[in-house]
Amino acid sequence: MSPSRDWSIEETAAHLRAGDVTAVSLAEEALARIAADDEQLGAWLHVDREHALTQAQAADDRLRAGDNITELTGVPLAIKDNFNVVGLPATAGSKILGDYVAPYESTATARLRRAGAVLVGKTNLDEFAMGSSGEYSGFRPTKNPWNLAYTPGGSSSGSAVAVAARHVPGALGTDTGGSIRLPASHCGVVGVKPSYGRVSRYGIFAFASSLDQVGPFARTVRDGALLLQHLAGHDERDATTVPLAVPNYLAACERGLDGLRIGMPREYFGPGIQPQVEEAVRRAIQVMKQNGAEVLDVSLPHTPYCVAAYYLIAPAECSSNLARYDGVRYGVRAAGDDLGAMYTATRRHGFGPEVTRRILLGAFALSAGYYDAYYLKALKARTLIRNDFLKVFNEVDVIAAPVAPEPAIRLGERLDDPLAMYLSDILTIGVNLAGICGLSTPCALSSEGLPIGLQLLGPAFGEEKMFAAAAGYEAMAGNEWPWPEVAR
């Protein structure tokens, strides 16, 4: 194996600039790694060799000419399959989009391409990004490279696995309730959920529009910061993006831990959290404290209501967003005698069980007679949840917590128990409801050899503090464990 698979994005960029390797050779190596072990992992839905090599050739031309080179020029990346990348299939993990080819480009992928990144292909996900294990993909489940009997976490399952299995050094995902941070935690990589409004969602398949956010995966905090640097910023095609200047996130990574005030919310520790997860996170916080951070006890008292509010709001928005899949303008159509019958047959045939359940739940919560009892209550609870975070961020710079109550679960363990699956999101979804930023970075391996993540949260548009804490921790913790070897 070439050493390139172990390189971070920054290391890859340095080798490309020095001329030690070419973008074409890196793309070839990534393609070979994917071919060698993706049958076992199921991380990818579409890999387009020609498409990848064309971009790589263009990157090499750019590197040779010294023309407009960025840290991403020639770097191979993976894109979750709910982004439109012109000319490539985009299914959102759903059979209903089985034959869809993107006719336009998402802003996020356009920005990566403009920087010279090589988009190798599209990665697997829970259907329409609804799921916490990767098992609700309409095509096949993704497996955890650390142990193939376990799930990788979802919904950005394939992107997390593509980075953990070292197919590529970075990837794009989306996070509506933890869909970047959860698989990052379970796969031992860095996953960043930026503040709501920080990155354009133009060109992604909408799931819950008041919660969806685009973010990167990488193997180092600095690489995560670097990718966000390229992704962030106002886009007139997404009216929710804010016209705020984008700070220098790599500079923020150099800040260090000294004097950083870190809050530990008591509701994120204790009962319901597996002891080895709690211990790992407490050890990580101790490392930050020993290196100059000030650690404070804080409270987010409405945490017990996050799952309830989220699983009314997200399904409600999903039922509305997914109304567009009707077999008329795109996607797979099923036969029906008249228009109504065609709609119903198409949706019945195209949507999997979890998506169906969420549409029903959302349509129920929004319907006459139930709106006030369910949806409106959830929106009000959201106010209280958001206020909890606003209050705590008056006292601290960053919040530290576990990402998930436990390490990755076994394949099939919760497949037929949606409520149990929803409860695994309890530590991540408050962030989406409040619109703040969060990331997961590896902090330990469990007794079964599965990764455990440390979650660090910052206030809305306060990514710098979050990156400072995460990079400071990463530098001081000295966590080193061998990456999983998948291909045998």
Say whether residue 45 binds other proteins (CB under 8 A). no
289 part of the active site: no
Active-site entry in 137, 155, 156, 195: 155
Say whether residue 379 binds other proteins (CB under 8 A). yes
179 part of the active site: yes
Q: Which of 32, 323 has the CB closer to other proteins?
A: 323
Q: Which of 1, 239 has the CB closer to other proteins?
A: 239
Say whether residue 299 binds other proteins (CB under 8 A). no
Per-residue binder mask for other proteins (CB under 8 A), 92-131, x = binder: -------xxx-xx---------------------------
Per-residue binder mask for other proteins (CB under 8 A), 190-229, x = binder: -----xxx------------x-------------------
Rounded CA gap, 268 and 396, in Å? 16
Number of residues engaging other proteins in binding (CB under 8 A):
71
Shortest distance in whole angstroms from residue 187 CB to other proteins: 27
Which of these segments, 147-155, 262-270, 321-329, 477-485, binds other proteins (CB under 8 A)?
Answer: 321-329
Say whether residue 332 binds other proteins (CB under 8 A). yes
Which of the residues 228 through 287 are near other proteins (CB under 8 A)? Answer: 236, 239-240, 242
Which of these segments, 71-79, 328-336, 394-402, 437-445, binds other proteins (CB under 8 A)?
Answer: 328-336
Query: Which position among 272, 336, 405, 484 is part of the footprint of other proteins (CB under 8 A)?
Result: 336
Say whether residue 471 binds other proteins (CB under 8 A). no
Say whether residue 348 binds other proteins (CB under 8 A). yes
Say whether residue 371 binds other proteins (CB under 8 A). no
95 part of the active site: no
| Catalytic residue ranges | 80, 155, 179
